[in-house]
Structure 1
Amino acid sequence: MTKLNQILAVEKGVKSDVQRKVTDAYHTIQKTPLLSGIARSYQPIDDEGEQLPPESTRVQVQVEAVLKDVSTTLSRLFDVTATKDWANCTAKADVTVDGTVLLSGVPVTYLLFLEKQLVDLHTFVSKLPTLDPSEAWTLDENTDSWRTEPVKTTRTKKVPRNHVLAEATDKHPAQVQVYNEDVVVGYWTKVSFSGALPQRRVNELLTRVQKLQDAVKYAREEANGIEVTDRRIGEAVFGYLFG
């Protein structure tokens, strides 16, 4: 008995083969000389006239034969696709994570959708902003954000000072150098807040996504393992079209 995963395995090859053969058939029937033939003979007016051999060209392509070949070729594709699509209507499996059924009786087509979505979701989660690991963070319930411990720093102000290089005399004024001195005038107390996530939380989310990805893949394989009934659609379709 054929299984759905076997049909899926050959479907791509069948499509490629059919496309090539139908394209070849299309190009063949566009070549008018292959569809044409002649037969002619020559007879002089009298027995003394020049004798010429007969000429003939055979018809190399019969359109009816091409239609028959195309019907046979396309029927294979129609049958394989019908078998797959009919089977997809009944191919289902449970998505189980850590022994618990998360989703029950999921159709295989939806499992394929989930697989693609989870790839994007994994990328999204992996790019989530994380807290600066160089800081110690605690959850602030008042703002629902993460915060650091208060850090106290000083605020300084430059105050001009005079430095006497030489005292004044009766002959020379005092030599004074002016310079600025940083004087503490106050204190800053800084607390940083962040809406990012701890790295451990991001790692936890990534683990969950990866577990679900694996579970969906296992479910898809299980669903694709069901036995299928071969469908014969092409004969009916092309029997009507070209019959």
Structure 2
Amino acid sequence: MTEFVFPAPAPTTVPVAGSTAVFPVGRVYCIGRNYRWSRDEQTTPLVEMPAWFMKPANAVVPACGVLPYPPSTSDFCHEIELVVAIGRGGRDIDPAHVEQHHIWGYAAGLDLTRRDLQTQAKHAGGPWEAAKAFDHSAPCTPIVPAEVCGHPRQGAVWLAVNGIERQRADVSDLMWPVPELVAMLSRSVTLAPGDLIFTGTPAGVGPLQPCDVVSGGVAGIGQFSMTVERALSTSPPTGDSL
């Protein structure tokens, strides 16, 4: 029997909509942009890999209640996204097999960003971890099994702050559709059950302030509302189930 030097943290999990079951989170992949932010923007050819980065599993938290304003930033920004939950992994996956064999379900999520730190990293040519991989940076709604919701090819993706809409697009507007996106990612890394993929955000990203109410969702998948508050503690997440 393995003897741990301290108790191993509980795995991060996401509730399954309409069930007592939970989805165990493995890795969290985030795709940059993936929507046109202007009418004259050209679609990147699908043979090219979109930009992507990662967040730690315990950055995933319930998309409800309080959203702590993170430390070390004065430009805390929202990015609404469709989230794909992988149920069967693989390498070099055929796009035609992604929906039928590899996607377990879908959720709505926020890729939260310390934009000032991201800008500094871009200028210095440095990594984005400080801007993207902080505590509570990936709120997520309960996962809807694909057998319940199907595989969305259209539907509103939206976000509002204090009742004023800031982001709106349609799943059909994705520059890289979900099957192509998953297949391309699998050519770079071996995907595994439990992986979450945040599929990119529409135009309209902007800052959040303490006391703001941020709400959003993906039609037919899930919606949320959270209130931004100053963080009262710098303690890291415990990894407890959501």
Do they fold alike, i.e. is TM over 0.5?
no
- The structure that is strand-richer by fraction is 2
Whose Rg is larger?
1
- The structure that is helix-richer by fraction is 1
Given the two structures, how large is their TM-score scaled by the length of structure 1? Answer: 0.18
